[in-house]
Structure 1
Amino acid sequence: MTKKIVFTGGGSAGHVTPNLALIDELKDCKVTYIGSKTGIEKNLVQAHGIDYRAISSGKLRRYFDLKNFKDPFKVLAGVMQAYLILKKIKPDVIFSKGGFVSVPVVIGGWMNRIPVYIHESDITPGLANRIAIKFATKLFVTFEEAGAHLPKGKVVYTGAPIRDVLRTGDRSKGLKFLGFQGEKPVLLIMGGSLGAKKINDVVRELLPELLKTYQIVHLCGKGYIIPELESTAGYRQFEFIDKELPDVMAAASIILSRSGSNAIFEFLALKKPMILIPLPLRVSRGDQVLNAKSFKEKGFCEVLDNDSLTPDELKQALAKVYKNRYDYIDRMAKAQNATHGIKSILSELNKIN
């Protein structure tokens, strides 16, 4: 009998792409994805040709907002919609990657007595997963340290589910796409899907100095392209890169980035020396700070503070990491088990009768 699996997760690409990576590896399974009506997950999932069901979803906020008064009703509506969809589909298991839309699906699954597996990318769970965990059968974690913050009997350490396509990147194709000759090391700068203004500003202030040493590909985020810099030799700026990203990452010698879990484990899988600038606590729940601290302690990266970042500090950190790049690469090569999450999660899913 064909195994039926429902996936859920959304709100950001980080809650969707690991699901898609898993789905791509599933054989002889019927897959359905439950997400929101307007979230990023809808377009990403439907582009893969996957059966997609939309439900009502409200955001769970820690701060005051007038929407807080009506969003709980959206969540309740989503629970009932998910319950009815799941009752009809009768999946063997639900796999959740988190995000607010996943909460109604997890609860709806629990109401239908369907096993619920959740994957937590960060060291500490976000608000959505903290709620969903109460209804979960198993909790898969990316960081071994996460076990200290979760119910012991449910935790399974799997590592990060990394997209296999990233491992197929071709350096020569990446250089050709960028128009680089390869005579200088390539510095890849990634500020997340929405960009990072502070990183963008400091990099561009330092640009003439950096271009003496590096060729630079700058994923600056939507709305952050500066037309006057388009003709700068050795510098390419993009709002984002999609299908060419594996080749561009293969071409990179060093990476400057935020410290979202999915991204930094991809860098780890590719053994790319990195400098991480986590989102500060004043604009986040602190997950990126903890992620970066963990990687720093393991010797995979250097970490800089967003709010106090200066051009000179960035220049020195880049020089340090590039000079010692083989030491970082050697340490990352010894930690590749942490990047085999797809294999580990599939093994757990295959245990379901």
Structure 2
Amino acid sequence: MKIVVSGGGTGGHIYPALALIREIKKQQKDCTFLYIGTQQGLESKLVPRENIPFKSIHITGFKRKLSFENIKTIVRFLKGVQESKKILKEFGADVVIGTGGYVCGPVVYAAAKLGIPTIIHEQNSVPGLTNKFLSKYVDKIAVCFEEAKNYFPKQKTILTGNPRASEVLNQDGEKGLRSVGLDPHRATVLIVGGSRGARPINEAVLKVMSELGEKPYQVLYVTGDVHYEKVSEEIRLIGNPANVVIKPFVHNMPEVLAGVDLTVARAGATTLAELTALGIPSILIPSPYVTNNHQEKNARALVSHGAAEILLEKDLSGKSLVSMIDSILLDNEKLHSMKTAAKKQGIQDAADRLFHLIKQLTKKN
């Protein structure tokens, strides 16, 4: 089977695609893959590292306001469709999967027009413009949140979950905590603002560093590479408590996640898929700077099931953050209840579900 995958722009679109490819390779070794992205996107760096054949097309996203740039984008889209048709024909694609980002637009649309089976995968609770557009043309729509079903044609839409979730399972949490200098037998909270970090979260944590040092739990505080030097300067002035480990980035995050009891994080779809797969309660601080405010909607979907608590950035302070951490981590009954609720929201076999969908579509053809 020849499978084309397209997704780009952010890790939230790319990591699920790579996780799906890895899982399919395990299950069916005779599958061949081609990844179509943009040369400017993160996918142009991440995909070749996985030894997956990569081709690029030139495309840009639509502006939400009327502008002359959107006319150029339409022209690029039409050119991208023609480029994509040529690539798909040369590769002999049996199925095309779009995991999000504007690059999927011309690729998946071209496949639909060629009569190739198509699937889009929506990671968020609220879909972006590209997937809304493609939903009219594709054969199947895979979603990660029940709430996302409301935006798509009912007969096409299936809850599959996020393939990235399966990659955090079966990890050695004790080994993960030891690798970052933490005690695996002590209650642990992970505070992380994403791969690049988040300045408002860092500022809040720094204000209560001394207070965190007096807590019975331990803290892994991941600043993000961009902010690490500035945070380190502040720590030199105020001191680094023995129970707080500060890192710029954690390369073995799936292994570390498996050992933590509570996570403070943004509310990106991939993060939530990992947390729910492992049944980790969370305090979610949604980024207010994302399209359609989808992170807050992602967070509220988990909050409504009792799996997380939300702390809006406008309400974030050191005091409010520590208070919320204490209210969960120091209350065994609440912690257990949130763990159970988080686990119920997790879909651990997402990659299997998607592969089953692929096989169903290709059999029909």
Indicate conservation of the 8 Å contact 2:182/2:245, yes or no: no
Contact 1:116 1:138 survives alignment (8 Å): yes
CA distance in 1, matches of 2:340, 2:325: 18
**Does the CA-based 8 Å contact 2:166-2:349 persist in structure 1?**
no
State the alpha-carbon separation in 2 of the partners of residues 180 and 63 from structure 1. 48
Over 3 Å counting, the alpha-carbon distance change for 1:175 and 1:259 in structure 2 is same
1:1-353 mapped onto 2 (5 Å cutoff) = 3-26=1-24, 27=28, 28-63=30-65, 67-68=69-70, 70-182=72-184, 184-213=186-215, 214-225=217-228, 226-228=231-233, 229=235, 232=240, 233-242=242-251, 244-280=252-288, 283-322=290-329, 323=331, 324-336=334-346, 338-351=347-360, 352-353=362-363
Measured in 2, the distance between the counterparts of 1:293 and 1:165 equals: 24
Deviation at 1:245, TM superposition (A): 1.1
1:208-263 residue CA offsets vs partner (Å, 9 max, x unmatched): 11222232222222311122337723333333322x11221122121001111121
C-alpha displacement of 1:274: 0.7
Q: Distance in 2 between matches of 1:34 and 1:333?
A: 34
* Contact 1:269/1:339 (<8 A) preserved: yes
Deviation of 1:64 (Å): 6.3
Q: Is the 2:166–2:277 contact (alpha carbons within 8 Å) kept by the matching residues of 1?
A: no
Q: Percent identity?
A: 32
**What is the alpha-carbon distance in structure 2 between the residues aligned to residue 91 and residue 69 of structure 1?**
30
Higher relative contact order (CA 8 A, sep 6+): 2
- Cα deviation 1:266-305 (Å, max 9, x = unaligned): 101111111011122x654121111111101101011111
The verdict on how the C-alpha distance between 1:46 and 1:320 changes in structure 2, with shifts beyond 3 A counting, is: same
Distance 1:179 1:64, change over 3 A: farther
- The answer (yes or no) to whether the contact 1:188–1:256 under 8 Å persists in 2 is yes
Query: Distance between the aligned counterparts of 1:64 and 1:198, measured in 2?
Result: 32
**C-alpha displacement of 1:73:** 3.0
Deviation at 1:207, TM superposition (A): 1.4
Aligned pairs, how many? 348
Give the Cα separation in 2 of the matches to 1:158 and 1:7.
17
SS class of match (2:131): helix
| 8 Å Cα contact 1:95/1:118 also seen in 2 | yes
Q: 1:68, CA displacement in angstroms?
A: 4.0
CA contact (8 A) 1:170 1:247 kept: yes
The whole-number CA distance in structure 2 between the counterparts of 1:181 and 1:333 is: 24
TM-score, length basis structure 1? 0.92
Contact 2:165 2:350 (C-alpha < 8 Å) held by counterparts: no
The Cα of 1:103 is off from its aligned counterpart by 0.7
CA contact (8 A) 1:266 1:339 kept: no
Contact 2:197 2:225 in 1 (8 A): yes
Aligned-pair CA distance for 1:39: 0.8
Comparing 107-116 and 68-77, the one that deviates more = 68-77
User: Displacement, 1:4?
Assistant: 0.8
Cα separation, 2, equivalents of 1:219 and 1:73 = 42
Deviation at 1:309, TM superposition (A): 1.4
Report the 3-state secondary structure (helix = DSSP H, G, I; strand = E; otherwise coil) of the residue aligned with 1:140.
strand
Say what the alpha-carbon RMSD is for the aligned residues. Answer: 2.0
The answer on whether the counterparts of 1:10 and 1:99 sit within 8 Å (CA) in structure 2 is yes
In 1, Cα distance between equivalents of 2:66 and 2:345: 42
